[in-house]
Amino acid sequence: MRVAEPPATALLAFVDSVGPVEAAAAVRAAAVPERVLAEISARRHLELAESDLADARRIGARLVVPEDEEWPAWPLLSLAAASDRGQRWSGSPLGLWAKGPVRLADTVERAVAVVGARSASGYGEYVAAEIGHDLANAGMTVVSGAAFGIDGQAHRGALAAKGTTVAVLACGVDLRYPVGHSDLIDEIAATGLILSEYPPGTPPARHRFLVRNRLIAALSSGTVVVEAGVRSGARNTATTAAALGKVVLAVPGPITSATSAGCHDLLRAGTAMLAGSVPEILEAVGPVGEHLVEPPSGPVRRTDGLGGQALRVYEALSRRTARTPARVAVESGVPIDRVRALLPELELTDLARRCDEGWRRAPDT
């Protein structure tokens, strides 16, 4: 796990071709293809497997590998497919370090990533918490990166709903980063999962956050961006999710807000769907037909069921002055014979009233 910096696509392909045991022996002997050697040469001498496993056990963590039952093979297949298409950033992890009581594969079977700006607005933090809470209430796992701002609020919303949330870190699972979220990370680990492809003790680094983002995108059925700058980690996660064939949604914000500029750009480019509500998110990311959203409807009008000519006849009537069928025909442009047929129908639905002088529009009830 330490011999190459993720995503080590050449090493991964080598492991897939010869198996993990044979690959480990070949790495130690430097008997590997040139591309693999380029990825491992700086760290090939490291022999820390036993100490890494001991460090993990000490904090109640475990190493999950592709041969394990809880390995999330189906979600991570998108990374392998992208790698086969030549996307070098998309290599699958060789293994994942996990801390928490739930099984990884089961947890991400119904998962949504919620990501966004660290320097979030009050609006963004409120929306992220509401989305996290309502997704968890609907039985979805909320996946994010435990960062300040949107990530933290999404995790807190899921926890408040007594739901499951997963934090994917850009450091070892024994390092609670950011330090200001130490308590939050502990709370996530108590009921959900802390994940990382980096061995215990690995410090956070800028490039590791971008590499980590591909896992957030891959482990989720869809990614919701609440607030993001035009160039940001959240935007990177969204474009990664789109490249993996996952659903991407973006929450709109004020046009004057720089923290929503990335969301608006994703929407304008057609990369993301509009996330107007949690039911819309569930409809987009859930199994087909499971979460159907009723189309928005306005107030019900008395005339909603009328056909075109009947509506024109109704609108030609007056509440104050009675009108003859001939006058109604002139006002509505509907032939007189048709007017004579429609007026009694309007009377039956309590939309018109017959009187000695002709016809009036019935008063609203």
SS3 181: helix
Q: Given 1.10.630.10, 1.10.10.10, 3.40.50.300, 3.50.50.100, which CATH number is that of 308-361? A: 1.10.10.10
Summarised one tens digit per residue, pLDDT across range 143-158 is 999 999 999 999 999 9
Check pLDDT > 70 for residue 232.
yes
CATH 1.10.10.10 maps onto the chain at 308-361
Q: What integer is the mean pLDDT of 124-146?
A: 97
Check pLDDT > 60 for residue 318.
yes
Q: Which CATH class is domain 48-285?
A: alpha beta
State how far the Cα of 147 lies from the Cα of 332, in Å rounded to an integer. 64
Confidence bin at 1 (pLDDT 50/70/90): low
| Amino acid letter for position 160 | A
Torsion of CA 136, 137, 139, 140, to 10 degrees: -30
Q: What integer is the mean pLDDT of 80-102?
A: 87
Per-residue confidence (pLDDT) for residue 81, from 0 to 100: 87
CATH 3.40.50.450 maps onto the chain at 48-285
Per-residue confidence (pLDDT) for residue 156, from 0 to 100: 98
State how far the Cα of 27 lies from the Cα of 223, in Å rounded to an integer. 36
State how far the Cα of 217 lies from the Cα of 186, in Å rounded to an integer. 23
Summarised one tens digit per residue, pLDDT across range 293-309 is 666 666 778 888 889 99
Q: Which residues contact 262 (CB under 8 A, 6 or more apart)?
A: 225, 227, 228, 229, 230, 231, 232, 234, 235, 238, 250
Does pTM surpass 0.85?
no
Q: Which two tokens stand for residue 357?
A: 């002088």
Per-residue confidence (pLDDT) for residue 291, from 0 to 100: 60
Check pLDDT > 90 for residue 121.
yes
Lowest mean pLDDT among 13-22, 200-209, 343-352, 355-364: 13-22
Check pLDDT > 80 for residue 354.
yes
Per-residue confidence (pLDDT) for residue 175, from 0 to 100: 94
Per-residue confidence (pLDDT) for residue 34, from 0 to 100: 85
